[in-house]
Chain A
């Protein structure tokens, strides 16, 4: 059975609009965060402190969005008493915006590298960082796309991408630690860099969480905390 959530088939037209608005607001918020990351990477590329400052300020907007969407979820639950797929959607939205807001926070931390002028001098680290950043942007796009289409297969594919990000992150981490040992005097700055790298990797993990929510929304199965193979297996069982 396809559990595609049809948002616009309720008898109550207003309820349709409310759910549609809710979903759109999450996508808007996601798009906002995605733009933040793009801006941050550009700021790193061109060492543009002004742009980074704007990203940090913009995070307030993301935070405000989270609060508004949360309030709307509360309102819908109180007034509409959603059930089944509607309830899953509202719960998913409520959880996903927490993750998206955290992504915003991680991005803000990366942007602070630029404002504090703590970018690593090594071009290799910088370019690897940008590379991982690009991959994370890809993953974010894929995640929000899957969310928009409620496509659990697309979500799984995106979920898969995190492994590569993790691998590259580990590689870059190894390289960075070896660089650190070469210049031990500015350990404080290196720590900042390490934190930023970790933040980048964490964004990937947050995307993974959202992908799990998408599966939950579309399938009604909780796939959190299970290895990818198991997940795949579960999904196949469900589709057959």
Chain B
């Protein structure tokens, strides 16, 4: 009926362009959605790295009705009930490390961009906005960047010698003392006393040096003139947004990106970097790939090459295809119930019984997470591999059989290499899926904050039992923080951007690999 109506309204050429328009409209819509997601993530993500200007804001405090002048950064400005509202974070003498406030227009007295205001980031992720005025140290003087550099160098030198003493002398003494303990040497043996003397000597030197180091500090003036001293050793960097040129801002951005990628999260995942999460994500995906590829390929080989063509095989095939549609949280629950508690618990009971009741493998960890993700992505690999195997020309199999190869030899030497691009496709899809999943991971081993990386210099180097951080979990965490901390929200977007990049890089690598394989095993 509708068809007739369209026919009566439009001539054939119009009908064709109508169909083209309709289909093109939806494609465009899709592109737009994709584009806006990307634009939002890129815009909000990069904002985390861009040095924002510092304003000198005067306002009337709600608490004591007194006019206050502060240095502040404006996160957002918006209209509410026809009035302009600003969302600020400012430093004040009472709380130099930043307070957030929603400021109505009526309370605002003035907002002036400050030319010499600095954003001072500390090593623990906190930051102070203010004007550095003096540097105290071996000689006290007015603040200047050259002077700061000189002092900074001195502090770094002292820090370096402290670490040097710790690693070169103190650790040796510790080791020797431990040896003596093992040999049951008496408490008052001369060797032990000599060592103890040396230890105390070094220790007092370190304390002296630390005192010397802590003498170096800068005085930061707040907007109302109050001065806050900050130890130089605590400072990570000082940025003057008002004095930076565009190029300078870009340079600062890149430094910040570098810090973001290499540092650990600070201040409950609202500042600092994401290195452990990035590392955890990549390691988990890597382990998952190692687990899922052989399982998936072998299962697919059995299903497509050996399994008799019966109803049961058909049922198995359909089940495998449907496994891909099971909600991922179900896999998470299964992983927790079966892998962690049942398998892990039993392994603990069998092999690590001396450390019970503290669980070793019977607790969520990297290995169980990888295993769960492998299960989650297994159907993808199986289906893609089966498809790849089906595309191997029968002539090649026949050729291999005709040369005296058995079925297994034919599969290993001929069929699998040709199916490898198909297998790679499956693995790519599996990687993309695994890198983006969050829900099951939170149950089986990913945590908001892990004190140690799952990989370090300690035997056995790769700690499969450890919990790990994950970019997705960090984003999830950040989404909760965003209600209270604007900077944390911005870090969440930066993490999103990074996660997108990780997935993109992994995919591009896999696609390149597949292209190479396809070229190599191209069949006419």
Within 8 Å by CB, do A and B touch in the complex? Answer: no
Binding site for A on B (CB under 8 A): none
Binding site for B on A (CB under 8 A): none
